[in-house]
Amino acid sequence: MLGKARRPDDPAVGTVLTRVWHGTTIEVKVEKLRDELTAIEAQVIEEADLRAALASFAPVWGQLFPAERARIMQLLLQFVTYNTAAGEVSITFRPGGVRTLAAESEKGASA
């Protein structure tokens, strides 16, 4: 004999679906988080690498028009904070900005 059919809005159906969803997707969630962590780690740039890249860019900077300089600054910087009390500047770079600039440079060099 078959059991009574339940409607989708029946609390018992929701509880079963929630258990199944949570139980079967934990591995998927873990894998997604691993992928996100890998992507974030790929965006981290070491200070020495950044210094070298900026030093090699210095000769080019002098040849750029102000609009080009502004576009590059917007690409690289997320925000700049100045602490007047301490006299310190804090710079936050855009994630992936340096890599985007490098990719554009490579594309321009090969064109």
pLDDT along the chain (111 residues), means of 10: 49 54 66 80 73 78 91 89 94 80 72 61
pLDDT of 15 reads: 58
Distance CA 108, CA 111 (A): 5
pLDDT of 22 reads: 54
pLDDT of 82 reads: 95
> Percentages helix, strand, coil for the chain, rounded to the nearest 5?
65, 10, 25
For residue 91, what are the β-bridge partners? 80
Distance CA 39, CA 42 (A): 5
pLDDT of 107 reads: 72
